[in-house]
Amino acid sequence: MTIKEAQKQIDHWINTTGVRYFDELTNMTLLTEEVGELARIMARTYGEQSFKDSDQDRDLGDEMADVLWVLICLANQTGVDLTEALKKNMQKKTNRDGRRHLDNDKLR
């Protein structure tokens, strides 16, 4: 599925199954909550924290998909074409950082 297809599918789901979008501020808050859940699983999987019983059945991919879902909702609500935004962002990073990381001795 492309990003554009994901935006369309989520919009369809929201407007049929989900009834309507939550307002933008609510979705921004939900995005923050989902990023926090992802961070908790990352800290326990790759960091030094141990798992709590309530974290044992968490799926890293599912947590990432939750973040992506809410981000796509916000993009749909605000008229952002994520495909185009990502293309522009990649170009910006290439122009700005094209040699910076290659020339960084800390990364070798």
Q: Which of 107, 38, 102, 103 is nearest to 69 (CA)?
A: 38
Q: Which of 4-13, 76-85, 89-98 has the lowest mean pLDDT?
A: 89-98
CATH superfamily of this structure's domain 3-81: MazG-like (1.10.287.1080)
User: Residue 5: is its pLDDT beyond 80?
Assistant: yes
Domain spans of the chain, in order of start: 3-81
pLDDT at 73: 98
65-77 pLDDT tens trace: 999 999 999 999 9
What average pLDDT is seen over the chain?
Answer: 94
* C-alpha gyration radius of the chain: 18
Share of the chain above pLDDT 90, in %: 81
